[in-house]
Amino acid sequence: MAGPQDLKALADRAVAEIAMCADDAALEAARVRYLGRKDSEVTRATKQIASLPTKDKPAYGAAVNEAKARIESALQSRSAALHGASIDSSLRERVDLTLPPRPVRIGRLHPVTATIRDVSRIFGTMGFETIEGPEIETDYYNFEALNIPPGHPAREKWDTLWVSNPLGDDPKVPLLGRTHTSPMQVRVMEKRKPPIRVVIPGRCYRYEATDAIHESILHQYEGLAIDEKLTMADLKGVLYSFARQIFGSKSNVRFRPDYFPFTEPSAEIAFSCVICEGKDPQCHTCGGDGWIEAAGCGMVHPDVLRRVGYDPDRYQGFAFGGGIERLAMVMSGTPDIRLFAQNDLRFLESF
Ligand SMILES: [Zn+2]
């Protein structure tokens, strides 16, 4: 004999099953099984009413209605849950506007590049054009044209990296990593007529045991001016102006006699220490003496002028050259030249 308790058990089973439905198809199958018009579980239970004694019919009918209502409500809420979940997951796939933004990493120039641009800009204000030259040079341009013939002791100062030459001993074939940017003095003079004002930044090579101030690959800047009536005073004026533009108006320049085979007279240039202004005997940048040796310079040697076809009685010129890393080290207080080529972002991002 069927009773209201059977309908409660039926509704419990249906509600539990509906809660497990994973998609619309499963939900529809459950609806048909429990509530469908033909031969569903609730329909069958409803038909039993006819066979019941009259006194039991109202309670049984009420139990049928209650079971139906519970199952319908379970179907509705499961359907809402399934659709809500699919909206949630489609949103997650696109974009979550509540997440904090990812930081934008802004690139910057390598300190060597930035210093080269500073040098070019400053000499540019004095009429110097920036040009570039080959990094692999011939013995002629790197040495001989600059008064450094084979056997000259100055070659010992510029030991470099040699490239094997598949064409034999042709002196015109590039053979060596240029040891300085000075070969470009000759290349420019061969191609142009005075007046000349150029600055040549670029990479150079040395065979070095590297340490805090020596690297086997380094950058230099070279300056050359050729004109009538140029003197050492013009050279000093240009370098004073450079020092004050790059290191500030307090900067001073010291010239001391030096020797280079391709300039005569020659001088060593030191800039006053911008870090300690000469007041700190322990200064890491200047070593405590207040001056930073930064470049070499001089009046272009008459033999160099003659070799390119200039008349040294009519044209004079001055040249200067210094290290780009050296400038960058002084400006930033960097203690070790090797840091520039190590690609350590902690170092590079400090600029
Ligand atoms: Zn100092």
Residue 174 to residue 80: CA distance in whole angstroms: 79
Distance 128 CA to ligand 1 centre (A): 30
Of 114-128, 169-183, 301-315, give the lowest mean pLDDT range: 169-183
Cα of 274 from ligand 1 centre, angstroms? 7
Q: How confident is the model at residue 43 (pLDDT cuts 50, 70, 90)?
A: confident
Instruction: Band the pLDDT of 169: cuts 50, 70, 90.
Output: low
Q: What is the predicted pLDDT for the residue at 210?
A: 85
Mean pLDDT for all residues in the chain: 88
Ligand 1 centre from 331 Cα, in Å? 11
* CA 245 vs CA 117, 248, 250, 265: distances in Å: 13, 6, 10, 26
Ligand 1 center from residue 294 Cα (angstroms)? 13
Distance from Cα 289 to the centre of ligand 1, integer Å: 7
Q: Find the 336 Cα to ligand 1 centroid distance in Å.
A: 15
Over residues 52-97, the pLDDT tens digits come to 888 888 888 888 889 999 999 999 988 888 887 766 666 666 777 8
- pLDDT of 93: 65
Give pairs for 60-64: CB < 8 Å, separation 24+: 60/2, 60/3, 60/4, 60/7, 62/4, 63/3, 63/4, 63/7, 63/8, 64/7
Beta bridge partner(s), residue 260: 263
Phi first, then psi, for residue 263 (nearest 5°) are -135, 150
- Cα(339) to centroid of ligand 1, in Å? 20
Instruction: Measure the CA–CA gap between 86 and 91, rounded to whole angstroms.
Output: 9
The reported pLDDT for the residue numbered 89 is: 66
For residue 252, report the distance from its CA to the centre of ligand 1, in Å.
13
What is the distance in A from the centroid of ligand 1 to the CA of 177? 33
Q: Is the pLDDT of residue 250 over 80?
A: yes
Between 268 and 43, where is the model more confident? 268
**Mean pLDDT, rounded, for 102-121:** 91
- Ligand 1 centroid to 330 CA: how many Å? 9
End-to-end C-alpha distance for the chain, whole angstroms: 91
338 CA to centre of ligand 1 in angstroms? 20
Of the chain, the percentage scoring pLDDT greater than 70 comes to 94
Cβ count within 10 A of residue 211 = 10
Determine the distance separating the centroid of ligand 1 and the alpha carbon of 287, expressed in angstroms: 6
Q: Which residues pair with 257 in a beta bridge?
A: 267
Q: Which two tokens stand for residue 321?
A: 């050259």
pLDDT at 243: 92
To which H or E segment does residue 261 belong?
none
> What spacing in Å lies between the alpha carbon of 276 and ligand 1's midpoint?
4
**How remote is the CA of residue 109 from the centroid of ligand 1, in Å?**
26
If you measure from the C-alpha of residue 224 to the centroid of ligand 1, how many angstroms do you get, rounded to a whole number? 29
pLDDT at 159 over 90: no
pLDDT at 170 over 80: no
pLDDT at residue 166, rounded to an integer: 65
Calpha distance 282→274 (Å, rounded): 14
The CA distance from 317 to 118, in Å, is: 23
Q: What's the pLDDT score for residue 305?
A: 96
How deeply is 187 buried, as exposed, middle or buried, from its count of CB atoms within 10 A (0-12, 13-18, 19+)? middle
Whole-number percent of the chain with pLDDT over 90: 43
Q: How many CB atoms lie within 10 A of CB 97?
A: 6
Q: How far is CA 227 from CA 89, 192, 236, in A?
A: 76, 12, 16
Three-class secondary structure of residue 256 per DSSP: strand
| pLDDT classification of 227: cutoffs 50, 70, 90 | very high
* Average pLDDT score over residue span 35-46: 85
CA of 239 to the centre of ligand 1 (A): 20
Ligand 1 centroid, distance to 288 Cα (angstroms): 5
Report residue 290 as tokens: 């207040």
Interval 255-302: pLDDT, tens = 999 999 999 999 999 999 888 888 889 887 788 889 988 899 999 999
Whether cis (ω within 30° of 0) applies to the bond prior to 171 is: no
